[in-house]
Amino acid sequence: MNPLNHVAIIMDGNGRWGLKKHNSRNKGHRAGIDTVEKIIKISLEQKIKYLTLFAFSTENWKRPKTEINYLFSLLENFLEKKLIKFDKNNIKLKIIGKKNFSYKLNNLLIKSEKKTLKNSKLQVNLALNYGSKKEIVNTIKKLNKKKIKVTEQNITKNLYTKNIPDPDILIRTGNTNRLSNFLLWQVSYTEIFFLKKLWPDFEKKDFIKILNKYKKIKRNFGEI
Ligand code: IPE
Ligand code: IPE
Ligand code: MG
């Protein structure tokens, strides 16, 4: 049975779900938040150590301003409401990506990270304004500036995900089989699961099914 430390998820399909059910993409984002809460709870139950959630990519700035603003207001509400509960449940929150949002949201994110810094049961990495190519380029620039040799190990140690083991599992919902600039460096040996279901429809049984499948996979890492 493979050990399981880190699950990463591309939470895709909110917009289509909202359009289909309520004729509004934003209603899909609203519903997607409930799935986030459910998956965090199951991750705790399953004793997963790291859960990385792709919430907003560097490319998502190309969307209409109204949708972007709605997404950030949802995130603000979510953190304001749930931070105390996360802290109580021994969850550590970490943002991966550049925090260049409103003054209010930036502060809330910093405050949430600080408040939960010492927690140790589950680390939830929220990928926000995250793009893998930017992350890699910036890391190499940083190494050069500090005159540190560019090696695989030194790159790994200087990404947003430093000190976090690579994902064991990557899940993408939303019936789209691509990575969309997510953790390109970190998923080189990750087991990838693409699901047809849209994110708001993703349920406990779907998650558990993947975890069980993963546990039985023969992971070679180049060996035989
Ligand atoms: C993913 O759902 C969530 C974000 C990118 C914020 P989408 O909004 O991409 O939903 P679809 O893919 O358009 O259905
Ligand atoms: C990836 O979904 C980003 C997030 C889930 C946050 P997108 O919906 O932005 O991906 P593309 O544009 O369809 O590849
Ligand atoms: Mg999408």
29 with 70: CB under 8 angstroms?
yes
Q: How many helices (H) and strands (E) does the chain have?
A: 7, 6
Spell out which residues line ligand 2, taking CB within 6 angstroms: 10-12, 54-57, 60, 176, 178, 180
Distance 222 CA to ligand 1 centre (A): 34
> CB of 167 within 8 A of CB of 8?
yes
CA distance 186 to 126: 15
* pLDDT tens-digit map of 70-82: 999 999 999 999 9
CB-count exposure of residue 139 (10 Å: 0-12, 13-18, 19+): buried
- Ligand 3 centre and the CA of 79: distance in Å? 23
Give the pLDDT of residue 91.
98
Catalytic choice (5, 60, 89, 154): 60
Task: Give me the helices (H) in the chain, please.
Answer: 14-22, 25-45, 65-88, 103-116, 132-145, 152-156, 204-216
pLDDT of residue 21: 98
pLDDT at 126: 98
Instruction: Tell me the C-alpha distance between 51 and 113, whole Å.
Output: 15
Distance CA 12, CA 195 (A): 10
CB 160 within 8 A of CB 135: yes
Give the phi and the psi of residue 151 in degrees, each rounded to 5: -130, 165
Between CA 95 and CA 15 the distance in angstroms is 23
pTM assigned to the model: 0.98
For each of the domains in the chain, give its residue range(s) and CATH number, in order of start: 6-130+168-216 (3.40.1180.10)
Q: Look at residue 153 in the predicted model and tell me its pLDDT.
A: 98
| Tens of pLDDT, residue by residue, the chain (224 residues) | 999 999 999 999 999 999 999 999 999 999 999 999 999 999 999 999 999 999 999 999 999 999 999 999 999 999 999 999 999 999 999 999 999 999 999 999 999 999 999 999 999 999 999 999 999 999 999 999 999 999 999 999 999 999 999 999 999 999 999 999 999 999 999 999 999 999 999 999 999 999 999 999 999 999 99
- Residue 160 has, within 13 A of its CA and on its CB side, a CA count of 26
CA-nearest residue for atom 14, ligand 2, is 180
Q: How far is the CA of 125 from the centre of ligand 2 (A)?
A: 17
